Chains A and B, each alone.
Chain A
Amino acid sequence: MIAAGEPAPDFTLRDQDGEEVSLADFRGRRVLLVFYPFDFSPVCSDQLSLYHEVKPEIEEKGVTVLGVSVDSPYAHKAFQEKLGIDTTLLADFEPKGAVSRAYGSYVDAAGMSNRTLVLIGADGAVEWAYESPTPGEFPGANVIFDALAS
């Protein structure tokens, strides 16, 4: 997993609408990358649903939330609609998991992103990173707020 203080690797990925999104687009603003294993999986559904509930509070702190998984833009769109969320979901689809790997958040044996949170500062450096003990559980939003407050 990438560590605090390291420069955040830049990337360009397509979102749920097929639009290209680059990390560089957010320079000058903090970004929270939420790497997660799969659209529609039970734990990921719970995680994205819960984070959506607190997204306004996170954004009030000047932070943009971006979800990242190896799913395609089409899957992301359907997942977003199913959950009724508006969090931007980025497709780390081809080459599969390349961005997740760059952030040290890829599980080769499972072919998926790990459940990792990465907070990137306005200067483009990693401020904080957190990986769930297992992909089967997700960090509560309190973990995010604690990181934002520190």
Chain B
Amino acid sequence: MPPIGPDDHGRGEGEGLIVYADLGCPHCAAAWAELVARPGRVVFRHFPVAGKHARSPALHAAAEAAGRQGRFFEMVDSLYADRGHVDDPHLWERGERLGLDLERFERDRRSEQVAARVRRDFESGIRAGVTGTPATFGLGGGA
């Protein structure tokens, strides 16, 4: 599994924890609230599995696109806080509330670059043996 790098999505300071999470996953939503409440750094890595949650790829692309405007974790928090509104119009509403440039958001979330960035995280999770979400790893690499 790749170590934490400068282009990982990290929040907080101190000893790190990496979480592979699916934005469509209810278990991840419950765990997310606990993870961000704990002291230390949390690194979020994308692990969408469409067969389990059909909207997951779109949600991860939206979060990554929001991240291109500096609002990655705000979008993640928003998606986990309200899992019942995840269609495209709801994503636009969320983007508007976060003050995003919606045209850019729309362009980015459908871009190959965003898809590739999400896929990079997913593949690193596969290599790390992730089979379900959320999957957390300490800096020492233990799950």
Q: Please state if B49 and A53 are interface contacts (CB–CB under 8 Å).
A: yes
Q: Please state if B131 and A85 are interface contacts (CB–CB under 8 Å).
A: no
Q: Please state if A52 and B127 are interface contacts (CB–CB under 8 Å).
A: no
Q: Please state if B132 and A53 are interface contacts (CB–CB under 8 Å).
A: no
A117 within 8 Å of B (CB atoms): no
1/0 contact string of B118-130 vs chain A (CB within 8 Å): 0000100011111
Residue total for A at the interface (Cβ-Cβ under 8 A):
20
Cβ–Cβ < 8 Å partners of B126 in chain A: 53-54, 140-142, 145
Q: Please state if B50 and A140 are interface contacts (CB–CB under 8 Å).
A: no
Q: Please state if A84 and B51 are interface contacts (CB–CB under 8 Å).
A: yes
1/0 contact string of B94-129 vs chain A (CB within 8 Å): 000000000000000000000000000010001111
A interface secondary structure, majority: helix
A45 within 8 Å of B (CB atoms): yes
B38 within 8 Å of A (CB atoms): no
B139 within 8 Å of A (CB atoms): no
Q: Please state if A46 and B52 are interface contacts (CB–CB under 8 Å).
A: yes
Q: List residues of A whose CB falls within 8 A of some B CB.
A: 45-50, 52-54, 83-85, 137-143, 145
A77 shortest CB reach to chain B, Å: 15
Q: Please state if A53 and B51 are interface contacts (CB–CB under 8 Å).
A: yes
A48, B50: Cα distance in complex, Å: 11
Cβ–Cβ < 8 Å partners of B130 in chain A: 140
A43, B47: Cα distance in complex, Å: 17
B137 shortest CB reach to chain A, Å: 13
Contact pick for B52, options A49, A139, A143, CB 8 Å: A49
Q: Which residue of B lies closest to A137 (CB)?
A: B131
Q: Please state if A142 and B129 are interface contacts (CB–CB under 8 Å).
A: yes
B123 shortest CB reach to chain A, Å: 8
A112, B139: Cα distance in complex, Å: 40
Cβ–Cβ < 8 Å partners of A139 in chain B: 131
Cβ–Cβ < 8 Å partners of B4 in chain A: none
A19, B73: Cα distance in complex, Å: 48
A53, B128: Cα distance in complex, Å: 15
Q: Which residue of A lies closest to B52 (CB)?
A: A49
* Max count, chain A CB within 10 A of own CB: residue among B50, B51, B128, B131: B51
* 9 A-B residue pairs with CB within 8 Å: A46-B52, A46-B132, A48-B51, A49-B49, A50-B51, A50-B131, A54-B126, A140-B129, A141-B126
Cβ–Cβ < 8 Å partners of B122 in chain A: 53
